[in-house]
Structure 1
Amino acid sequence: MTATRTVELEGHIIDSGMMQRAFGIVMDLGGDFDVEEFTVGKSKTKESYCRMAVTAETDDDLQEILHELHQIGANLTDPVDAHVEPAPADRVVPHGFYSTTNHPTKVRYEGEWVEVDDIEMDCAIVLEETDGGVRAYTKVLNAIEEGDRVVTDEAGIRVEPPERPRDSSGPFGFMQGGVSSERPSESLIREVADALEATKEQGGKVLVVAGPALIHAGAGDDLARLVREGYVDMISAGNGFATHDIERGLYGTSLGMDMETMEHPRKGHKHHIYTISEVIRAGGIEEAVEEGLIGSGIMYECVRNDVPYVLAGSIRDDGPLPDTITDAVEAQKAIREQAHEADMVLMLSTLLHSVAVGNCLPSTTKVVCVDINPATVTQLLDRGSSQAIGMVTDIGTFVPTLADEILTGESAVTDGGDAEGDGGNDRGDSESDDSRGGHCPGR
């Protein structure tokens, strides 16, 4: 005896590949489908619609197929209210709880669709009665409290994956490319600059996720310029990023290397730990700025311009700096708060921090990931941040060029070389990772 349910797909399902993926899922999982209705949008602004009956040998097989279809945005034509069960204990969810994607999601409750707040991947959905009705929002598993009304199964859930534009029109139109190592870097950086400026003009917030390789590559001054001029609203990084930024101001070195001569001075390898010691003595980064110990750099500009920063700790940290959050759960909370506020994110040469922040972002947030290693962007995409576009280039070229485009309207790149760069270096832009990760509480 077979089991059958009807699902529908709507939107730019042909251009986005959604329909092809849906057919593939059904066939790969041993099911069958019958397209009952198919309407093609015949212009760039018209959407398409497909309704199909999905059949499997058993109810369990059908449920598995429907689960996979649901993840890409296919929804049942006969939705019911979501199933809700109370959490049996703190940090314990009911069996079969619904695990979220990072796409905009709605829950059907008493016949009405309710938008899920703070959507991010790999969370539970909790329904809560309020004076104004019902609220649906996500919770990570370690935040679940006994009695929380947790949504289970896919019934009564509607997922709406954002669709990339069919063409490159609009300030974010270029964000349809995935990983690029061949496009001219100057033109793509100009587009990133346009997107960043558009975000700010619309009152949005820009989050920069940065690794210490940015300092090693000589791009610290240019990121500091962007912070100073108000184009960066938040920074998420590690202990190493802040340490080497401050080290450069105190000693002129980054991880012991002289940033002018590229030589390693005597005792240069100790500069980072001397830096940490001095900041600890001052009581923290802000205190070190106030007393004049730190007089330049990215962290200096953050303090002076009230730009909050999160330095997430790592088992590898030296010191760490007093501002580093060493509790992993607390660091996640701080990163999550930043991620939920961001409208555009620049991920600059940091694999682990990029993936960590990417996991907290809804798929509607614009993400640009820049690294000399294409595997960084590939891993970000594999983890579910499908909205990210990547640029494979030297971070020491990208950030100065971006700053010049935004602040002066002139590009620092003049040879029109491709994104792999005229001189990409071997300094390991994607610090493997944040060779000394860290964190600082946002103010």
Structure 2
Amino acid sequence: MTVARTVELEGHIIDSGMMARCFGVVMDMGGEFEVEEFEVGRHKHAETYCRMMVTADTEAELRAIVHELNQNGATVADPRDATLEAAPDDQVVPIDFYSTTNHPTFVRVDGEWIPVEDCEMDCALVVDRSSTEVEVRTKVLNAIEEGDLVVTGETGIRVEPPERPRNGGSSFGFMQGGVSSERPSASLIAEIADEMRSVRENDGSVLVVCGPAIIHAGGRDALADLVRAGYIDSLSAGNGFAVHDLERDLYGTSLGVDTETLEHPRKGHKHHIYTISEIGRAGGIEAAVENGTIESGVMYECVSNDVPYVLAGSIRDDGPLPDTITDAIEAQNAIREQAHEADLVLMLSTLLHSVAVGNCLPSTTKTVCVDINPATVTQLLDRGSAQAIGMVTDIGTFLPMLSEELLDEE
């Protein structure tokens, strides 16, 4: 005996690959499907509709298949309202809670499809009836409160993965994703620059995610110039990035190495810990800028130009700096707030912070990841940030080229 469920796909499901992915999901998971209705869009802007019956040997297998189909944009036909269950305790979700993707999501409540606020992967969906209008938002599991109405199962949930652009416009095509392993492409950097101009002209927000390699590789001055010129609206980094940037100002070194001559000054290996001490003595980065201890660099420009920054700590940090957030949950929440406000994110030579920020981003946020290590770029894409454009290249070459593209015309 088999069990069956009918699902629907709608949109540009052929050229986006959605239909092929859904067919593959069913077969890979041991189910079968039968297409009951198929209407092909006959011009560029027309949508295609597919209705298919999915069968499996058991209800558990069918539910697993339907879950995967849902993640890829399929919707259960003739949907009922979403199933809601109250959270039994703080930080505890009901069994079979719906785990979110980072794609635009809608939940059916009282017969209406409600858009989910701040879409983010690996969260629960919570329905709020406290105001005049029903709201649905994502919540990380540690933020769940007893009594929260949590969406469970797959019923009454619609996911809309981003589709390939169809207007034949920009050759960049942010939402198509991909990785370039060639040397920095002048044309691609020009398009990144164009996007940054567009975001600024439309009062949007550019978030830059920074790794210490920016300082080591010689990209510090170019990034500082972009902050000063107003192209960067917020910064996310770890303790190490800020320490090396500040060390460069105080001692002319980064991790004890002179970034101009590549020489190792005497006691240079102690410069990073001396830097942390000096910033602590001043009372923090902002105070060190204001009293003249720090006179240049990325953190200097952030303070001088009121660009907010989040420095998230880790177990391996020296010091850390007084400004570094050492509570992991507090740091996650601060990063999440930055990510939700961003219209464009530049992830520059940092695997851990890129993945952390990527986990908080909706799939509609344009993202550029640049790293000399191809594993950083591919891991970000594999983790679910499929909207990201990846460039495998030296950050010390990329940032000066981007800065030149943006600032030479001003």
TM-score (norm 1): 0.90
| Per-residue Cα deviation, 1:163-193 (whole angstroms, up to 9, x for no partner) | 1214651486254241111376111111111
Distance 1:131 1:196 in 2: 37
Distance 2:302 2:260 in 1: 24
Distance 1:106 1:22 in 2: 19
The alpha-carbon deviation at position 41 of structure 1 amounts to: 2.6
Structure 1 segment 201-350 matched on structure 2, within 5 A: 201-350=201-350
Aligned residue in 1 for 2:130? 130
**Which of 48-57 and 295-304 deviates more?**
48-57
The alpha-carbon deviation at position 56 of structure 1 amounts to: 1.3
Letter in 2 for 1:19: M
The 1:183/1:316 distance shift into structure 2, 3 A limit, reads closer
Letter in 1 for 2:363: S
| Per-residue Cα deviation, 1:327-354 (whole angstroms, up to 9, x for no partner) | 0010001000000100110000000000
Aligned residue in 2 for 1:9? 9
Distance 1:102 1:131 in 2: 25
Residues 1:110 and 2:114 are matched in the alignment:
no
Residues 1:81 and 2:81 are matched in the alignment:
yes
3-state SS in 2 of match to 1:54:
strand
| Per-residue Cα deviation, 1:65-86 (whole angstroms, up to 9, x for no partner) | 1011001110011110011111
The 1:184/1:250 distance shift into structure 2, 3 A limit, reads closer
CA contact 2:258–2:264 (8 Å) conserved in 1: yes
The 1:134/1:167 distance shift into structure 2, 3 A limit, reads closer
Structure 1 segment 431-442 matched on structure 2, within 5 A: none
Distance 1:16 1:196 in 2: 26
Aligned residue in 2 for 1:164? 164
Distance 1:361 1:43 in 2: 32
3-state SS in 2 of match to 1:130:
coil
| Per-residue Cα deviation, 1:306-341 (whole angstroms, up to 9, x for no partner) | 000000001110010000000001000100000010
Aligned residue in 1 for 2:391? 391
**Which of 8-17 and 327-336 deviates more?**
8-17
Aligned residue in 2 for 1:351? 351
CA contact 2:174–2:367 (8 Å) conserved in 1: no
**Which of 14-23 and 90-99 deviates more?**
14-23
| Per-residue Cα deviation, 1:89-118 (whole angstroms, up to 9, x for no partner) | 110000011110001111100101111111
CA contact 2:177–2:386 (8 Å) conserved in 1: no
The alpha-carbon deviation at position 9 of structure 1 amounts to: 1.1
Structure 2 gap ranges (5+): none
CA contact 1:88–1:146 (8 Å) conserved in 2: yes
Distance 1:9 1:155 in 2: 15
CA contact 1:118–1:138 (8 Å) conserved in 2: yes
3-state SS in 1 of match to 2:113:
strand
The 1:185/1:280 distance shift into structure 2, 3 A limit, reads same
Give structure 1 regions of 4+ aligned residues with deviation exceeding 6 angstroms. Answer: none
The 1:59/1:175 distance shift into structure 2, 3 A limit, reads closer
Distance 2:165 2:264 in 1: 49
Letter in 2 for 1:148: D
Structure 1 segment 187-206 matched on structure 2, within 5 A: 187-206=187-206
Distance 1:354 1:368 in 2: 10
CA contact 1:171–1:194 (8 Å) conserved in 2: no
The 1:209/1:407 distance shift into structure 2, 3 A limit, reads same
Letter in 1 for 2:220: G
CA contact 1:167–1:173 (8 Å) conserved in 2: no
Distance 1:81 1:60 in 2: 21
CA contact 1:6–1:76 (8 Å) conserved in 2: yes
CA contact 1:174–1:191 (8 Å) conserved in 2: no
Aligned residue in 1 for 2:48? 48
Distance 1:340 1:354 in 2: 15
**Which of 183-192 and 121-130 deviates more?**
183-192
Residues 1:64 and 2:64 are matched in the alignment:
yes
Distance 1:287 1:210 in 2: 22
The alpha-carbon deviation at position 16 of structure 1 amounts to: 1.7
3-state SS in 1 of match to 2:129:
strand
Distance 2:329 2:278 in 1: 27
> Could you say what the CA RMSD is over the residues aligned between the two structures, in angstroms?
1.4
3-state SS in 2 of match to 1:264:
coil
Structure 1 gap ranges (5+): 411-443
Aligned residue in 1 for 2:180? 180
CA contact 1:98–1:152 (8 Å) conserved in 2: yes
3-state SS in 1 of match to 2:134:
strand
Letter in 2 for 1:76: V
The 1:84/1:227 distance shift into structure 2, 3 A limit, reads same
CA contact 2:92–2:144 (8 Å) conserved in 1: yes
Distance 1:190 1:261 in 2: 30
TM-score (norm 2): 0.97
The alpha-carbon deviation at position 364 of structure 1 amounts to: 0.4
Calculate percent identity across the aligned residue pairs: 73
Distance 2:50 2:403 in 1: 45
The alpha-carbon deviation at position 44 of structure 1 amounts to: 3.1
3-state SS in 1 of match to 2:299:
helix
Letter in 2 for 1:284: G
Aligned residue in 2 for 1:418? none
